[in-house]
A = this chain, B = another copy of it.
């Protein structure tokens, strides 16, 4: 595997080159009429304004943390941290740039050339993000790998360096996800409350000053936030596997490659995650091009193929390649378990957010919003069962073949298709934005029909993508948790201290478990109220504009809304509100670890994992189901209760509850448990 870092770096670079080509392809596509271009410019500028302000805050955070790291962990760790963070910002920046060019061009393509052309444009726009996320991630890890591997061994700080890299990725993801999530839902809810409810004008009506902010929100939340999140999952999964490969007792690694000697075996264990990720990215690049050739098939089919296929291709490729390095078929079985498990979770998510359960939610809307909400919550709770059960089975199989290291490998397998998952995820908001621009610039029903179809497909695939993301997050956290314990013991062993044994019936661990349960609740509560507060501020401003700008509501010539004011309010509110939950997530492990000890911290990680996994699944699936139940009624699925009926209004209530669930709090909690784990892993040697 001597050439592995080179292969990783070159595959990463290739992905970036492809991204660049697609970026220019997107940018060179026609932008449509001046009205469209103007709206698109507003959205782009709003999105970039948010990103710039967010990045300023994050820069301060990064400098402070890097300073602490220089002091406690050395300068190289600080550099790795900054690199992890910087690459995340870079991926978010390019992805959003591309998406905010692609949205308007998708609308124009739908108008001028029809559905297949629009599909390809939206996919290309998303692929830039997907390739940047995976390419930059792989590039970063490849460079670290190349720089700190010396022959048969690693630099003594290699562990700390990759942990710091992961902490950089994770903490940016945390803030970007929470900040973006608050922005997008506050703007959405705010624009809807005044527009749809009070002023009784349709969604995306150009008179509504909040509409631009709503469209900006799709970009900052579902593109930049989601991108940072997936970049983080990708990095964390690889790092957790590398960390375990580095610290797990070597005899426990034996099943991975029984023929190798100890030194070679450890090298193989640390290298394998990088190798698999390299294979995964190569497969994904091919997959993206295959997807483009399927453009004449129904979009729903195209996207499902794009999501489900790559993990299986990776397993196939691994079955051929791994034996060359004397790695056992157990590793392939583990990857297969991860891929199948991810597929099952995706399908279950699909079921809960688009089939029987949403009809039941729609049905219970007939008796009012109360029963709609109860049913949605019940669906959310129920939807946790099979995914968590599947993860238990995947964990059990992986552990059977390769021990805890296998669990980390399963997560790597589940995420092997990250570039394409992210492509499909970013595709959704691009199509959604395209539809919004079509509506605002009055492009007519045929265009809107195309963008609506593309958007609707994106909703379901977004749910499937979230299923993958949460599933891999849970496995990664399990692996990180084990790695944390190994790392603590590794260091204690060197110091000749007593090993840390995490015995579940010891009071410190149990109390930690209960304390850990608090953290997802706090992040959930603060993000949900943050959305409410930020939305309130937006509502006031939209009301003010309707009141004070003469002729705006009547749509008179020359009466222009002031969308930039709303964008500013949303930006300021989201950035202010992201600080508290973000600080909780980053500081909790530090305070618990240094204040109460490694055992309390470990218990807290376990408690946060159990509660966090449950709440984030509940929120993601419940939110998706509410959204689609509303759409089901709008499409006439509920006989005798069409759009505008009482049942539909009840379904809108459920959707309002589901919005912050699925796009703010749920993702926030899911990332919380990852951030806590990587931060714990990083500080482990100091405990």
**Partner-B contacts on A (CB < 8 A):** 189, 193, 197, 364, 367-371, 373-375, 377-379, 381-382, 384-385, 388-389, 391-392, 395-396, 399, 403-404, 407, 474, 478, 481-482, 485, 501-505, 507, 509-511, 513-518, 520-522, 524-526, 528-529, 531-532, 536, 539, 602-603, 606-607, 609-611, 613-614, 618, 652-653, 655-657, 660
Contact = CB atoms under 8 A, between A and B. Distances in A.
A384 B524 CA distance: 11
A510 B481 contact: yes
Contact of A613 (B514, B539, B653): B514
Contacts of A384: 517-518, 521
Given A513-B610, A653-B653, 16 more contacts: A189-B370, A193-B367, A193-B368, A378-B528, A379-B525, A381-B522, A382-B521, A388-B515, A389-B518, A391-B514, A407-B507, A482-B510, A504-B504, A504-B509, A517-B613, A606-B610
Given A388-B518, A392-B515, A514-B388, A657 B485 contact: no
A408 to B, nearest CB: 12
A513 B475 CA distance: 12
11 contacts: A364-B532, A370-B657, A374-B528, A378-B528, A381-B521, A381-B528, A382-B525, A485-B504, A504-B509, A513-B610, A517-B611
Nearest to A403: B507
Contacts of A382: 521-522, 525-526
Contacts of A374: 528, 531-532, 656-657, 660
A524 B381 CA distance: 7
A657 B377 contact: yes
A383 to B, nearest CB: 8
Given A385-B521, A504-B503, A370 B513 contact: no
Contacts of A511: 392, 395-396, 399
Nearest to A528: B378
A414 to B, nearest CB: 15
Q: What does DSSP make chain A's interface, helix, strand, loop or mixed?
A: helix
B395 A516 contact: no
A517 B610 contact: yes
A211 B555 CA distance: 52
A197 B368 contact: yes
Nearest to A530: B378
Contacts of A391: 514
A602 to B, nearest CB: 6
A510 B529 CA distance: 32
Nearest to A385: B518
A482 B513 CA distance: 14
A391 B518 CA distance: 11
Contact of A513 (B369, B531, B602, B606): B606
A29 B384 CA distance: 52
Nearest to A501: B503
B503 A503 contact: yes
A299 to B, nearest CB: 30
A288 to B, nearest CB: 33
B388 A517 contact: yes
Nearest to A523: B381
A687 to B, nearest CB: 15
Contacts of A197: 368
* Residue among A364, A377, A407 having the largest count of chain B Cβ atoms under 10 Å: A377
A532 B375 contact: yes
Contacts of A614: 517, 520-521, 611
Nearest to A504: B502
B505 A482 contact: yes
Contacts of A613: 514, 517
A188 to B, nearest CB: 12
* Residue among A364, A391, A474, A614 having the largest count of chain B Cβ atoms under 10 Å: A614
Nearest to A512: B392
A524 B653 contact: no
* Residue among A514, A613, A614, A660 having the largest count of chain B Cβ atoms under 10 Å: A514
B525 A381 contact: yes
B524 A378 contact: yes
Contacts of A392: 511, 514-515
Contacts of A375: 528-529, 532
